[in-house]
Structures are given as C-alpha cells and as structure tokens.
Structure 1
C-alpha cells in the first residue's frame, strides 16, 4: 500500500505539478514485531539431521550458498 501511495505522490507532485493533491495522500503505519528466535538446543537439533534425506538437503543448501550472514 505504501509503495502505491509513494508512486501516486510522485505522479501528482512531479508529473502533474499538483503538490496540493499529493499532500492529501498519507502512508499507513503498521507495527513492527520482533522475530521469534530459536534456542541453542533447537538450533543444534535443526543442524543435526536424523535421516539421510535431511542430511543431503542440508548439505546441498549449504553448498549452494544459502547461508545466513551473522548479525553484528
């Protein structure tokens, strides 16, 4: 929704040269929630697959470069 409002605001301000109409457009706000973080035990259990199929899947995704960058 916000991208549409931004596009219309640009259209009214620069293309039609009607900034008075662009002022009436307001962007919506939505609450930002923190992501759910797994515990260390859940992470270890996830990275230690029990079946060969899960081990191969994990190895292929890691080998393909689907890694998570550490946050600073």
Structure 2
C-alpha cells in the first residue's frame, strides 16, 4: 500500500510541476504579445507625429529583453 501511495504522490507532484510550467509559459507568451503590441503602438505614434523615437526605442528594448529571457516563441503563435 505504501508503494502505491508513493507512486500516486510522485505522479501528483509531477502533474503540479507540469501545470506550473505551462502557466509560466502562457504568462510569458502573453507578456511578449503585450510588449509587441506596445512596440507597434509606439512606432505608429512616432510615425503619426504624436510619439517619440525614445518611446519606440524603449519599447523595442523591453521586447528584446523579454525575448532574451523567455525566447521568441510568442512571435510564432
């Protein structure tokens, strides 16, 4: 009986770990998409004359930092 309980506990722990990894992945993708949207908005505003090159550069740097930390998988989704 103890062997069964140990296996069940290990399986439950593995499921929790996989679930947390998936949640982290989804959150990183969502953050990346938001940063990409911010870059587009900053570029659009700059082109229309209501934004600044500094805002566009800052949005680009934020996006590049996110890609360096989490990869660029959200660009393909």
TM-score bracket, normalised by the shorter chain, equals 0.3 to 0.5
**TM-score, length of structure 1 as denominator length:** 0.34
Larger Rg: 1
**TM-score, length of structure 2 as denominator length:** 0.32
Q: Which has the higher helix share?
A: 2
